[in-house]
Structure 1
Amino acid sequence: MLSPSSPSFPPLSDSEKSASSPDASPPTYPDGGLQAWLVVLGAFCGLTASVGLYNSTGVLSILLSSSILTTTSASSLGWIFSIYAFVVWSVGVWVGPCFDVFGPRVLLLAGAVCTMLGMMGLSFCDEYYQVFLAFSLLTGLGSSLLLTPSMACVAHWFNTRRGLASGIAWTGGGVGGIVFPLLVQALLPSLGWKWCIRILGFVLLVLCAICICFCRSRIEPPKPKDGVSTWRQTLPDYRIFADGTGAMAITTAGTLFTDLAYFIPITYLPAYYLSRQHMDDQEAGVTGAAGFGYQLLAILNAASCFGRLTSGSLGDSIGCSTLDP
């Protein structure tokens, strides 16, 4: 069993060792092989547990409003998922440099623990502040700790086929968005919302375990520079935006606005459907016309799987900028 405090890295080849020197040629990438595709499998499971849960917030919104927070206004309920989304993406600014310093394993372990504790805690919640702490903060932190290392590991193993490999891994987010809403719809009538959340948490735990087993960084973290402590290396370096062209800043801003727009339909589509059917969340069930709200979110995520796969593959051949709207 590998110690969480000392991540294991496969030995570098002679060419990779020479590539790490200042005057070396650009590093090479396996771009395939069993170990590389196992990393993709691990990333797929990690993104299913993090982005898949993120893509299921629309169903969780109905579940919370109909089972726990029955008297909470829609605007107050919206803050739970807004803060959750903020934590998921904003913490990644710090998780990325931590990945460069410590490798993926310790971050993935921390993410699995936070996600499991958050979901189990959610199943015992009765008050608004409890849901906020358990889901918005703790589960949001866990999702961020899973998402960033899972995504970054793939880039260590693929170069010319990076788009395809990343697309396959990111499909996990769509698969989670299909499975989790349908799982809630199937379990809720017979087990109730508490055990529904707990079983969902156990499913996430299994996915996290697979992710931890297979996600590996290929290049050993850099040693601290003279006069620079390890904790300083984990701080974001905002100088990357000052590249003289503004390309990095514009790309980052575009990604930010894309994610902001993406969050709206996955969170409010089921509730919007119920309102159009003249049913509030308390009256909505999981069968018939009301049950289609759960299935609608699964359909949306199923379509996204196709987009993730095809855009990743096309990105390798025609370039990523060509695919941008």
Structure 2
Amino acid sequence: MKSVDIPDSREQSPTKNEASESNKASIDNTESIPNGGRAWVQVLGTFFIFFNTWGVLNTFGAYQTYYETQELFPASSSNISWVGSIQSSLLLLLGLVTGPLYDVGYFYLPLCTGSFMIVLGQMMLSLCDTYYQVLLSQGFCIGMGTGLIFIPGVALLSTYFSTKLALANGIAAAGGGFGGIIYPIIFHRLLTQIGFAWTVRAMGLLMFVTLTIPLLVFRTRVKPSSKRQILDLPAFKEPAYAAFVLGGVLAFISLNIPFFYIQYFAIESGIASDELAFYLLPILTTGSVFGRVFPNIFANLVGPFNIIYSCTIVSGALMFALINISSLAGVIILALLYGFFTGAFVSLPPTCFVRLSPQRSLIGTRMGMGYAVMTVGNLIGSPVAGVILQKNGFNSMWTFGGVLSIAGGIAMMTSRNFQGGWNPFSRL
């Protein structure tokens, strides 16, 4: 009798992990991108990533004013601003690590680690009473936490959206604006009632609750790249990529100056009382909420590069408008407008990096690498502004920020021209 070979079930039945992996689409298969439906749940998760990264960073202006006007520790404006500068720079710098990690499939590890570090740093801040303690907890610990969660949370959307990516990024980025409104209000309202330590702890509890939402809703959709590419240095030989990153460096130098100093400016110039000046930061970040959504809607029509360079140039012009201003109404209007136009600058780079990546498997690497270089501008901008303020006053500081913001917008316009073949009507 002829024998019949019976296949080994152990070889034929895939494991649970293998089955799950086989159900995922290839990262380069754009036809499988949902562009809606369940993809909007991922936008919710990224909304709270922005809420606890840029939202937390935009709150530092409230801390800056408190540290300068209270007696928690003695420090100059420039030294205090180093805390916020390091915090926001680490958000960008760690993308150099988290971008490639995301590309090869490590998604939940940086997300969980970063969330833990944000909450830990916030709780440790409540125990601080010296400058270096604040620098370590608020600057380094929270900064590293935001850096670990930002790129994975943002890059995930590029696997769920293609035609609606700019809109999805805009809605998600609005979380940074909402965080920049809610956290300063909590800080200001609770400070006089329960003191600095318990106010910071209350904010830490809110961070803990809102950071659990991305952990619950995020789902990776595509297979990770098979190549482990930490850097893509040839990207800097591409004129469009190099010009865009240069523009980002210049714009980031000026970005946080009003966020850090507009409250202090209103108080020192006698434009507003301490109580009224506090509301300038929430007003600024309210403008940022709208700036992160509406320009992204138009970005789908006219192109993200056209929107981002235009808004960056206008942001610089608004900083010039702060020179010699003495009207509270004028400062409020300028704060609202500045928040709106810088909101586009904060929300649109991920969309631009997608277009600057020839392969979708390089999105995380190129995004992380670009943000890491932009860190240079973000790191030095506010401390240098603080030195200029101490030596030459507010007008020189606004001039410094305005010039560099406009220069950054021009560099981004050049990147757009390299992308579109210098066609002024290209939708890029």
The normalised TM-score by structure 2 is 0.64
Q: 1:259 to 1:75 in 2, by over 3 A?
A: closer
Q: Is the 8 A contact 1:9 1:220 kept in 2?
A: no
The answer on 1:258 being equivalent to 2:251 is yes
Instruction: In structure 2, give the amino acid aligned to 1:274.
Output: I
Give the whole-Å Cα distance in 2 for the aligned partners of 1:258 and 1:217. Answer: 32
Q: Which residue of 2 aligns with 1:306?
A: 290
Cα distance in 2 for partners of 1:306, 1:92 equals 26
Secondary structure at the aligned position of 1:235 is classed as coil
| Alpha-carbon distance between aligned partners in 2 of 1:26 and 1:42, rounded to the nearest angstrom | 22
Gaps of 5+ in 1: 1-6, 226-232, 279-287
1: CA distance, partners of 2:92 / 2:118: 15
Output one character per residue of 1:226-282: Cα deviation in whole Å (capped at 9) or x when no partner.
xxxxxxx36332222223xx101111111222222211111111111221128xxxx
Measured in 2, the distance between the counterparts of 1:254 and 1:10 equals 41
1:211 Cα deviation after fit? 1.5
Matching residue's letter, 2:168: A
> Residue 143 of structure 1 aligns with which residue?
146
Q: Contact 1:45–1:172 (CA<8 Å) still a contact in 2?
A: yes
- Is the CA contact (8 Å cut-off) linking 2:262 and 2:281 kept in structure 1? yes
Q: TM-score, normalised by structure 1?
A: 0.84
* Runs of 4+ in structure 1 over 6 Å off: 7-10
Aligned pair partner of 2:99 in 73, 96, 100:
96
What code does the residue aligned with 2:267 have? L
Equivalent residue for 1:295? 279
Do 2:105 and 2:225's aligned partners in 1 also have CA atoms closer than 8 Å? no
Q: CA deviation at 1:207?
A: 1.3
Residue 303 (structure 2) aligns with: 319
Q: How does 1:3-18 map to 2 (within 5 A)?
A: 16-17=25-26
Provide, for residues 102-142 of structure 1, a one-character-per-residue CA deviation record: whole Å limited to 9, x for no partner: 34211111111110111111110111111111111111001
1:111 and 1:240 map into 2 onto residues whose CA distance is 28
Of all paired residues, the percent bearing the same amino acid is 29
C-alpha contact (below 8 Å) 1:56/1:177 kept by paired residues: yes
RMSD: 2.3
What are the residue-to-residue correspondences of 1:101-112 with 2, within 5 Å? 101-112=104-115
Q: Deviations over 1:165-205 (max 9, x none)?
A: 00000000000111111111111111100011111111111
The offset of 1:55, in angstroms, is: 0.9
Partner of 2:341: none
Q: Indicate the SS of the match to 2:163.
A: coil
How many residues of Structure 1 are paired with residues of Structure 2 in the alignment? 293
1:199 matched to 2:192? The reply is no
Q: Distance in 1 between matches of 2:187 and 2:229?
A: 38
Give the Cα–Cα distance (whole angstroms) in 2 for the partners of residues 68 and 9 of structure 1: 60
Correspondence for 1:113? 116
In structure 2, relative to structure 1, the CA distance for the partners of 1:9 and 1:291 (3 Å cut) is: farther
Gaps of 5+ in 2: 1-16, 311-428
C-alpha distance in 1, partners of 2:286/2:77? 27
Query: Which residue identity is paired with 1:240?
Result: A
Report if aligned partners of 1:120, 1:197 keep a CA contact under 8 Å in 2. yes
Q: Which residue number in structure 2 is paired with residue 33 of structure 1?
A: 37
Alignment check: 8 A CA contact 2:73 2:130 kept: no
Contact 1:47 1:146 (8 Å CA) reproduced: no
Higher alpha-carbon Rg: 2
Give the CA deviation at 1:59.
0.3
1:36-75 aligned within 5 A: 36-67=39-70, 69-75=72-78
Q: Which residue of 2 aligns with 1:274?
A: 267
Give the conservation status (yes or no) of the 8 Å contact 2:57–2:84: no
Which residue of structure 2 lines up, in the alignment, with residue 284 of structure 1? none
**AA partner of residue 264 (structure 2):** A
Higher helix share: 2
Match 1:247 to one of 240, 257, 261: 240
